[in-house]
Amino acid sequence: MLRRFGVSIDDELLKKFDEYISQKGYVGRSEAIRDLIRNALIDESISKGEEEVFGTISVVYDHEVRGISEKITHIQHHYVEEIRAAIHVHIDERNCLEVVIVHGKSTIIKEIADKLNSLKGVKNVRFHLTSVEP
């Protein structure tokens, strides 16, 4: 069932929202508002830490640093329940990108990302988490 409700908003904010809607390709305000609410609820549930999440951890590292590849693999093996797949890409002669696809509790996924980030030779770690709509 769909419900209608009113929203009071100042002109400048509405103008910026309409520009956002246009840039994102929405046909109207309602769908954009629904998506923003869904995303806010997902972010809130993820931040609590016990939510089942899906996502990726991207790791850029210098493969010339002694033992780095083995250390990354060791961490992945320690979290075999949470790691669904890993993709390895050679960026250049020295640097690699490892994209790890994960599923599990958000606190554990953050723990994996933190452990990878703490390794000598890792240059950058980014992770993106999402969940099924609450």
- Who's near 12: CB < 8 A, 6+ residues apart? none
Could you tell me the pTM of the whole model? 0.77
Assign domain 52-130 to a CATH class: alpha beta
Comparing 48 with 92, the larger pLDDT belongs to: 92
The CATH label, of 1.20.1420.30, 1.10.287.3510, 1.10.1220.10, 1.10.10.10, for the domain at 11-47 is 1.10.1220.10
Average pLDDT score, the chain: 92
Q: Which residue, 130, 127, 83, 86, is CA-closest to 103?
A: 83
For residue 62, what are the β-bridge partners?
95
pLDDT digits (tens, 9 = 90+) for 43-85: 887 777 777 899 999 999 999 999 999 999 999 999 999 999 9
Please, where in the chain does CATH 1.10.1220.10 lie? 11-47
Cα dihedral 22, 27, 29, 30 sign = negative
Domain with CATH 3.30.70.1150 in the chain: 52-130
* Average pLDDT for 23-29: 93
Question: Is pLDDT above 80 for 16?
Answer: yes
Q: Which amino acid is at 35?
A: D
Q: Which band of pLDDT confidence, cut at 50, 70 and 90, is reported for residue 41?
A: confident
Single-letter code of the amino acid located at 62: D
Rounded to whole angstroms, the Cα distance separating 110 from 68 reads 20
